[in-house]
Amino acid sequence: MVNKNSGMSPVAAGVVGAVVGAAVGAGAVVLSDEKNRKKIEKKFNEYKKDGQKIISDVRGKMEDMASQGEKKVEEAKKAVKAKL
């Protein structure tokens, strides 16, 4: 039988609830140990630094591309004016 309000059967909803509950419980167990929290914090900070470097690199490339685009526009303007 299908629950008309959510479109999900009660059995499927129960299974999903059990899986989510198990995941939350496992996460709580992992985070309850200070050693694990420190490891997670260290990895998070590493990924954060990597992400900041990637953003900085992309920003620099975008600025270079914008500069090149501006030069091309100016060249095109000069070429049009020269033909007039």
The amino acid at residue 54 is I
74/37 Cα distance (integer angstroms): 55
User: The pTM is what?
Assistant: 0.49
Domain definitions of the chain by residue range: 1-32, 34-84
At residue 3 the predicted structure's pLDDT band, cuts being 50, 70 and 90, is: very low
What pLDDT, in 10s, does the model give residues 20-65? 999 998 888 888 888 888 888 899 999 999 999 999 999 999 999 9
Structure tokens at 9: 């059967």
77/7 Cα distance (integer angstroms): 60
